[in-house]
Amino acid sequence: MTTVLLTGGAGFIGSHMVEHLVVNTDWNIVVLDRLSYAGSLDRLAQYRAHPRVRFHFHDIRAALPSQLLKRLGEIYFIIHAAAETHVDNSLADPLPFIETNVLGTYNVLQAARQLSVSRFVHISTDEVFGPAPRGVYYAEEDSLSPSNPYSASKAGSDCLAMAWATGYGLPVVLTRTMNNFGERQHPEKFVPLVMRAVLWGETVRIHASSEGAIGSRKWLHARNHADAVLHLLVRGALGKYHIGGDEHSNLSIAQAIADIMEKPLACELVDACLNRPGHDLRYSLDDSKLRATWTPPVPFADSLRRCVQWTMAHKEWLEG
């Protein structure tokens, strides 16, 4: 029986990967998580007693001890999704990001060597490239230019993963994704943040340039992300892949959310550079390498509608 170790499996993206793997494979899934503020076993409630899902508490800022490695048993794949991910928090206190994203990745890479895994998937972010001018789409081998401690720590973890691939022969697949959304997302993120504001009649702040150009991202449902990772695990070659999505401005996303909720949107444009130094107005990835063999199973509009409708029926996930 194939067993996959998933770090950060109680986080938002990690929990969608657990769900996707349970539904679409017969693998055993071992979740490793330290249950920080962004991790919750509530996300895995329906799988806590599942015969193919096991949970182990561990903080990857510490090396995985030999006793834990023995309890994990034979691990075939590792998906390393555990990370600190909030830009504002990284600007306020960068050390936890260095400890988790850099030192933590080192510890998981070393464990992967000891476990002799067949594939190590390192989940990273578009933000390692810094801002993308209009019309620019970063390819897998473009130069990294992070703008804040979070993206710098992820760039460092990318370099570690590829160094372990080259220096130790670790079979690494490095993926970079863009703005993920979906059910059970932490309320600090944009989609639930907009939903809260629309519900409570508050004004949504939309980042723009001083000239009025509105920020944009590519948007990807976390289950589509999980489907891409599963595809790369079983069909992809080793190396780097970008998992993109559909590009939309932050304003159009906010308006679409309000429309699905059938409520008015109150918004104001704010200067991103003044309001949030270290944030980038636009990110974008060239995901043509992956799209040559993979297509997102659920279209963007359907994904957003399902996410908003589900969250409206489970408003507890909007509570801060």
Q: Across 211-289, where does the E strand assignment appear?
A: 216-221, 239-243, 246-249, 266-271
- CA–CA distance from 115 to each of 17, 69, 76, 237 (Å)? 21, 8, 8, 20
Task: Give the C-alpha separation, 227 to 56, whole Å.
Answer: 24
DSSP 8-state assignment for residue 148: S
Q: Which one of 150, 158, 183, 241 is the catalytic residue?
A: 150
| Neighbour tally for 110: CB within 10 Å | 15
Q: Tokens standing for 31?
A: 């979740």
**Neighbouring residues of 302: CB distance < 8 A, sequence distance ≥ 6:** none
Q: Which one of 126, 158, 280, 287 is the catalytic residue?
A: 126
- CA–CA distance from 67 to each of 23, 58, 222 (Å)? 30, 12, 32
47 is catalytic: no
Q: Across 93-208, where does the E strand assignment appear?
A: 119-125, 172-177, 179-181, 203-208
Q: Which one of 33, 127, 280, 287 is the catalytic residue?
A: 127
127 is catalytic: yes
Number of helical H runs and strand E runs in the chain = 12, 12
- Say whether 66 sits in a helix, a strand or coil: helix
Distance of CA 23 to the CA centre of its chain: 20
Annotated catalytic residues are 126-127, 150
